[in-house]
Each structure stands twice: as structure tokens, then as C-alpha cells.
Structure 1
Amino acid sequence: MKKNDIVEVEITDCGINGEGIGKLLGFPLFIKDALIGDTIQARITKVKKNYAFARLEKIITPAKERITPPCPVAAPCGGCQIQALSYPAQLTFKEKKVKDVLMRLGKVPEGLLEQVMEPIIGMNEPYRYRNKAQYPFGTDKEGNLIAGFYAGRTHHLVTTDDCLIGAKENKDVLDVILRHARKHHIAAYDEETRTGLLRHVLIRKGTHTGEIMVCPVINGKTYPKVDSLIEELTKLPGMTCIALSINTQNTNVIMGEEIQTLWGTPYITDKIGDLEFRLSPLSFFQVNSQQTEKLYQKALDYAGLTGNETIWDIYCGIGTITCFLARKAKQVYGIEVIPEAIEDAKENAKLNNIDNIQFYAQKAEDELPKHKEDKKTDIIVVDPPRKGLDEKVLETIIYMEPKKIVYVSCDPATLARDIKYLREHGYELEHLTPVDMFPHTVHVETIVSLQRTDT
């Protein structure tokens, strides 16, 4: 097998990035846009020692679950890696992904998983669910200003003004910014020359409130003709906050550290359940508000609170889960490394009249060990980044001996690794539910509870 060979292969598996996997004489081929059940013709693009990559040339026999994606740029964009798969089949794939990874990496017995694993929580309407979008700007071959999204693992900009998993209002905002920028000859930022002004625009919508935030990210200190831009944007329904993010660094990080409020309030508000939260341009907030409510309800169900518990919420962000827990617990402590997030968390607790939370702006692995002699902790809740729990955090959790651990995970592989450790150190799986927070992508959230075995 060599580069540019044309092969015919049946797709029998799916990779972590949504690529189809087929085998020729036992040799795995990874093929973007191919789905399990497809029989395809593919062109070999790269050959490694134990596997190869190929490009989909023709679908000979489509999988029975293959559909025509409603988004016209679904394939080149790559943001929705599995939009060509019917939604019920997406849910089946994600459920199987969680189960397989926990068995293979976490060494969780299949029989135990069948006892504790609940069906995946999907969406009734799996489009228009994102409450946040970040559009990069660029220039087409004719030199025109464009906006869109980068194709997977590239910096090639795929032009689109209406992402179907984003809010409908995003298109109107983009139209205003593009029209204004073209009129006043405002150029897109060029990464190679580090010239040009417009880098990105952040658009946020309060799913429950309808409030809109617009925050252009610029390679400079000021925005030309900003008054006329504000005038046009404020004609749009729901406009609440217009801000500016200053980012003059040579970096792939989207947002700059300096935020200027140009018009309105420096935040928008949104709700999860009956709790209200203030969101600034830099706030972390789950992008799927509808599914977040279901996820947090599971967290409460799994915690089984009676009102007498002391809880640690590790990686608490702006205090969303923390506030939910605090209303039904005796005392909650939250840890988050980003100081601005902790300030937001304090404001959110105050906004919801919650006074039984204490927050710490520190790394979890530095702060939690300071409290490890406190044996009064009943429950520890963790919602770590994709890399999972720090080893020192795991060791401290075991030492503190909480009766229960509630783990919210955005990566099945690191969840499996951490569950393996916890099961080896006195905890056993009690409940587990996958939640589809990101329809049409390969990502899946999972919430689990573990019970100490000697209680």
C-alpha cells in the first residue's frame, strides 16, 4: 500500500475524531467523512508503519444511517464531524463510545456497566443549541473580508454566516459587522504578517433571556468608526452588551485579556433552571443551556442531598453547579484556578441569594490538599478539563474519604483512567449517564457517581 493508491473498503468503526475506520488485510485505514456501514472508494494519502490515512473519493454503498447533512458546509467545515449520521445513530455511537472506553481503559466489568449505566440523554431538537459562537475573520482569494470557521486541523477558513448549531441571531450580527468593516475598509488579521485588525467576534445569547452580547476581538487598541457600528448593532433585537477584546499577541488564543465595554452592560444574564447567572465575555458557561439543566439535575439526583452535607466543588468555574448544590446542602466550597471566574462565581451566588458557599481562586492540586485533614466532607463534585483529574487531587480525594464522588466528564478516556484509580482505592460505580451536550460532534459528556465501599 502506498500514497495515491485507490482502494475499496468497508467502514466498521469510528475514530475519536469521527473519522471512519476500515481495514485492508488487517491494516487500519482512517478516512474522514466515512461512516460505519459505508462501503467506499478511497485514495491513500499517508502510510504509517501500522496504519494509514485515506481520503473519501466515492461512496459505493451508503450506511443505512447516513443522511444528507442540512448544513451546506458540513464536510469542509469539520465542526460537526458526524452530521451525516442520523441523530438516533449519533446517540447510539456515543453511548457505545463511553461503554467501550470504560471497559477497555477503565477495566470496568461489562456486567457492572449494565447495572449502573442509564440511557444517554439526547435532545428533542439537536440544532440551534449553542449559546456561544466565535467566528474568525479572513480574506478570500479576491481580497474580500469573510467570516466562517476553520476546517478541521487547519487554518483554512470555510465561509459561512449561519452555523446551524448556533443561534439564528448570529447571522444578523455577522451581517452588520461584515457590512460595516467592508464599508470602512477594516481588514482581517493576517497571522503571517500580523497585520490587519479584525481577528474574531464572540457572540453570546442568553437562551432563556434572549439577551445578546457581541464582542469583536481586534489586533489593536481602538475600532474605527465604532459609533456607527454600535448604532447598527443596537438596532438588533435583544442587544444587551457590546464589548471589545484587545488581543495584539502572536497567539492562537482567541480572547485578549483586556475587555472594553462599548455599550450597555458588561455582561448578559441567562438562567439554568430557576437560577440566574451573569456572563461576561471571558466567562466559561456550558454552551448548551437545555442539556446543562438536565446534566445538573442528574448531578443533584446522584448527590442525593438531604440538607446536611458538606461538599467540595472542584473546578467550579463561575459557580453554576456550586449554586445548584448549595441550595440543598449545608455548606459548599468551590475551587477554580481563574480569578475572574471566581469573581463571577461570587457575584452569581449573591445574585441568587446563596450565602453558604466559600470560593478559592487556586489550582485544585494546590488548594484541596490544604484541607485534607477535614474529615467532615460528605461529597466531592468534580468537573475537570479534558485532561481529567490531577494525580494530587485524586490522592487528596481518597485521603479525605468522602462518602460519595460525583464526576462530570467531557472526555471518556480520562474519565476511564480516573474511575480505574478510584475503584482501586475504595470507591465503586453507583450511577452513570452519558449526556449529549454537543449534537453532530463526536464529543460526549458523562456524569457518574461513585460510593465509598466501606460505608
Structure 2
Amino acid sequence: MSKRRRERNQNPLPRGPLKARVDGFTHGGEGVVRIEGKAVFVPGTLPGEQVVVQVTDDRARWARATLVEVVEGSADRVAPPLTDPDAIGGGDLAHAAPDAQRRLKTRVVREQLERLGRVAAPPVADCLAVGPDLRYRTHVRLHADPDGRLGFHRAGSHEVIPVDDLVLATPQVQAVRDAVGDATGAAEVAFRAHASTGTAAAAITPGPGGLAIPEGDFDVVLVQPNGSQLALRGDGVLAETVAGLTYRFDTSSFFQVSTGGAEALVEHVLRAAGRVDGALLWDLYAGVGLLSLPLARAGAEVVAVEGHAAATRWAERNADEAGLDIAVEHAPVASFVTDGGTSHDPPDVVVLDPPRTGAGADVIAGAISLGPGAIVYVACDVAALARDTRALIEGGYRLTAVQPLDLFPMTHHVEVVATFTR
């Protein structure tokens, strides 16, 4: 028997249903109970509740369990908009009232910065609502079940739950979903629609059989086996207007999934960056220019760095159409901050908007070596932010402000704008 196996069996929990009090909450949206001194993570629970749980995965130092019964519910517990949270599409906090969701997200941001970031009393503001709690998503991806019906994957599995009513999607996205239906033969369909410009598209990944092209007032794009996309109807170009600026992009490019969320990010990044008129600013992971354009409009000399080729082309085009002069660099951010940026002067301000995995050690070390007076970090994963925060503090920066934003209501996800000064 391996050492790992012996460790796993040293402190097994009882097999039957167990009653416990929820006394913690994880950054993944799970309640935490303690049974015989072991932390047990239970989805669908809220702090303070007394619950009955069934352990499903028992490890040496922690365990996972399913919720059997809520014996004493929290005052924050509500009936979710759908009885099955997986049918909401990531609706793992739909059992909590929206204000309570935001309090939990504030708590999680603070705790992660304290534990992983090792920041004493981090300056975390209350999580802010930025738009509606339902019907806010401008981008939804569905998968086909064996009968061709489209829906969401059940959490932690490949099982597809057929869904007709997309309760988190905007009415415009819902209209595209209704028009596409379930008879196209697609293996996967991504629905995108933007009310501010009237643009909409369905990006269809074919299944093993034939493919029927749906009718409707929206573009249709075919996702090919190599990942490239071919417009079958229309040009497959979407547009969104945010803070008075219009951004164009194709269906392969990332853009924030809610208009209100994009507006909030622009507002709070501008606030965090401070007076940038005349400053040299590097916007790392710039995408199609969501933050680069308003920063340039505020007077900054912007260098926008992005590794996705299509996004850099759109960033250049969006800047040109807005009449803004931005230097757009197509390069991996890690290589740019270490040696690729030598053609530019060191920045006064760095804006980081990395993917969910965070900026990472190389990018953080490169940013520190550049010596900007301020670093504005936009995070979509608070644990990654906390790890990078520790590195920034060790590199001589101070965390001066943390603003959580509720860009993804009904889910545990939270966006954070953090400000660091040298």
C-alpha cells in the first residue's frame, strides 16, 4: 500500500449521513463544515446553517460531501430561479439572496488575500452590484446531449442538462437560442448578442452527423476542427458599446460577458490608475482594447500587449475607429515584460488583466523589474490574485485598494480591481 493510500485512510469519517454546522465558505462557492476536526466542503450551503451531509470523497486532511437536508437554514437562503442549479449554467450561489452573495464574495476576497496573499487587514471594499442579477450574460455556450438537445454540463461531469430558458442570458441571447433550437445537429453552440449595437451570432461546432443551418436575424459561424471559424451567414463580427466607445470583434475573441460589467471595469480601472494624462501605460492582456481605449482617451500613452492574434487586430481597428493612437503589440505577455518591451520606455503605470490562472511568477517579476509607480490588477480568480499579491508585496509594492465587482451574479465568481503602489 502506498504512503498516499495509508495517509488517506488514517482518519476516515463515518459513512452515514452526518449533521454539522456550516462555519466557513470557500472561494469556490462551497460551505465548510468540520466533522471530527476535518474540513468538509459542501456545495449549496451557507455559513451559519445546520445541515445533514453525506461524505462522498474522504481525504487525509479534507473531504467533500453532498447536501442531504437543511435542518436550520440561513436567513439569506432563497429559492433559486430554477430548481436545478446546474440548469442555470454555473448557478452555484443561486440559493443565496443577491445581497448575501455579494457579502460572501467580499468575505472570500478578504480571506484569500489574508491567507494566500499574507496581507494583514487588506483594504477590501464591499462587493458592488454592477447590473441585473438575472438576464445579464451576452455570451452563453451550450452542449448537445445524445439526443441533440442543447444544455449545460452538470458540475463536475460531462452529463448535459437540456435547457430552454437561459435565466442568466439577456433577452437578445435568449432570442438567438430560441431560433437555433435543438435540431441543427451541432455538438456545441455559443450564443452571443449585444443589445447596444444589435449584433448577434451563433457559433456552431458540428456534431458527427449532418448540420442544419438555423434561420434567424443573426450571423452564423462554423467552428472548424482546427479551431478556426468560418462565417456561413453574415460576417461573424460583433460589436459592443461601453463607456461611449464601440468595440468590434469576431466570435473567437474574448469580451466581457455583461455590458454593465464591462462598464464597471472601465470605471474602476480608470479610478485606480489615477491621473494618467501624459503617463506611459502598458495594458497587459489587452484583448480587443476594452481598457486601452478609455485609458488613451484619458490622456495616457498606451502600449497594449496581447497574445491572441485576432484580438490584436481588433484592438488596432477599434483604436483607429475611435481616433485614438495606441501602440498594439502582438506578443506573449511574459516574454514582452522580460525582453520584448525593450523598444518602449519603462511604463509609469501597468494594467494587468490576466486569465483565470493569474499573471504568474514570470509576468509579476517582469512587471516589478520595470518599476512602475502603480500596478492595477484586474482579477477574475481571487486565489490567483492573492498569490500574485504576495509576489508583488515581496517585490516592494503595497496593496492600497481592492474593489470586488459582482460581474457574475448567481455564481461564486467575482471580478476584482486591485491597486498596488511602489
TM-score by length of 1: 0.85
Q: Equivalent residue for 2:117?
A: 106
Q: Given that residues 315 and 383 in structure 1 are in contact (C-alpha distance below 8 angstroms), is that contact kept between their aligned partners in structure 2? A: yes
Question: Which residue of 130, 133, 136 corresponds with 1:129?
Answer: 136
Q: Given that residues 302 and 327 in structure 2 are in contact (C-alpha distance below 8 angstroms), is that contact kept between their aligned partners in structure 1? A: yes
Q: Equivalent residue for 2:106?
A: 95
Q: CA deviation at 1:348?
A: 1.2
SS of the residue aligned with 2:291? helix
Question: Which residue of 26, 51, 72 corresponds with 1:40?
Answer: 51
Question: Which residue of 14, 30, 34 corresponds with 1:19?
Answer: 30
CA distance in structure 2 between the partners assigned to 1:128 and 1:176 by the alignment: 18
Using the TM superposition, name which of 395-404 and 285-294 deviates more.
395-404
- Unpaired stretches in structure 2, ≥5 consecutive residues: 1-11
Q: CA deviation at 1:445?
A: 1.0
Question: Residue by residue, what CA displacement relative to the aligned partner does 1:7-27 show, whole Å, maximum 9, x if unpaired?
Answer: 111111122322221112312
Mapping of residues 2-401 of structure 1, within 5 Å: 2=13, 4-74=15-85, 79-110=90-121, 113=122, 116-139=123-146, 144-178=147-181, 180-181=183-184, 186=185, 198-219=186-207, 224-226=211-213, 229=214, 232-234=215-217, 239=218, 241-247=219-225, 257-355=227-325, 357-370=326-339, 371=341, 376-401=346-371
Question: Residue by residue, what CA displacement relative to the aligned partner does 1:21-59 show, whole Å, maximum 9, x if unpaired?
Answer: 111231222222222222122222232222222222222
From the superposition, tell whether residues 68 and 350 of structure 1 become closer, same or farther in structure 2 (CA, over 3 Å): same
What is the letter of the counterpart of residue 24 of structure 2?
D
Question: Which residue of 378, 381, 384 corresponds with 1:408?
Answer: 378
| Identity between Structure 1 and Structure 2 (%) | 26
* CA root-mean-square deviation: 2.1
SS of the residue aligned with 1:332? strand
Question: Residue by residue, what CA displacement relative to the aligned partner does 1:144-195 show, whole Å, maximum 9, x if unpaired?
Answer: 43111001110011111112111224444334333543xxxx4xxxxxxxxx
Q: CA deviation at 1:78?
A: 6.2
Question: Residue by residue, what CA displacement relative to the aligned partner does 1:317-337 show, whole Å, maximum 9, x if unpaired?
Answer: 111111111112342111111
CA distance in structure 2 between the partners assigned to 1:362 and 1:75 by the alignment: 37
CA distance in structure 2 between the partners assigned to 1:172 and 1:299 by the alignment: 33
Q: Equivalent residue for 1:192?
A: none
Q: CA deviation at 1:383?
A: 0.6
Q: CA deviation at 1:77?
A: 5.8
Q: CA deviation at 1:134?
A: 0.7
Q: Given that residues 130 and 287 in structure 1 are in contact (C-alpha distance below 8 angstroms), is that contact kept between their aligned partners in structure 2? A: yes
SS of the residue aligned with 2:119? coil
Q: Given that residues 436 and 444 in structure 1 are in contact (C-alpha distance below 8 angstroms), is that contact kept between their aligned partners in structure 2? A: yes
Using the TM superposition, name which of 290-299 and 116-125 deviates more.
116-125
CA distance in structure 2 between the partners assigned to 1:224 and 1:5 by the alignment: 49
CA distance in structure 2 between the partners assigned to 1:124 and 1:397 by the alignment: 33
SS of the residue aligned with 2:369? helix
Q: How many residues align?
A: 410
SS of the residue aligned with 1:94? helix
Q: CA deviation at 1:374?
A: 5.6
What is the letter of the counterpart of residue 163 of structure 2?
T
From the superposition, tell whether residues 361 and 169 of structure 1 become closer, same or farther in structure 2 (CA, over 3 Å): same
Q: Given that residues 283 and 303 in structure 2 are in contact (C-alpha distance below 8 angstroms), is that contact kept between their aligned partners in structure 1? A: yes
CA distance in structure 2 between the partners assigned to 1:29 and 1:179 by the alignment: 39
Q: Given that residues 431 and 449 in structure 1 are in contact (C-alpha distance below 8 angstroms), is that contact kept between their aligned partners in structure 2? A: yes
- Unpaired stretches in structure 1, ≥5 consecutive residues: 187-197, 248-255
Question: Residue by residue, what CA displacement relative to the aligned partner does 1:118-158 show, whole Å, maximum 9, x if unpaired?
Answer: 3221145211111101111112xxxx431110011100111
What is the letter of the counterpart of residue 206 of structure 2?
I
From the superposition, tell whether residues 351 and 20 of structure 1 become closer, same or farther in structure 2 (CA, over 3 Å): same
Question: Residue by residue, what CA displacement relative to the aligned partner does 1:248-279 show, whole Å, maximum 9, x if unpaired?
Answer: xxxxxxxx522121222330211111000112
SS of the residue aligned with 1:284? coil
What is the letter of the counterpart of residue 392 of structure 2?
L
CA distance in structure 2 between the partners assigned to 1:54 and 1:394 by the alignment: 37
CA distance in structure 2 between the partners assigned to 1:98 and 1:328 by the alignment: 29
What is the letter of the counterpart of residue 80 of structure 1?
G
Q: CA deviation at 1:75?
A: 5.2
CA distance in structure 2 between the partners assigned to 1:394 and 1:306 by the alignment: 22
From the superposition, tell whether residues 3 and 218 of structure 1 become closer, same or farther in structure 2 (CA, over 3 Å): farther
Q: Given that residues 375 and 401 in structure 1 are in contact (C-alpha distance below 8 angstroms), is that contact kept between their aligned partners in structure 2? A: no
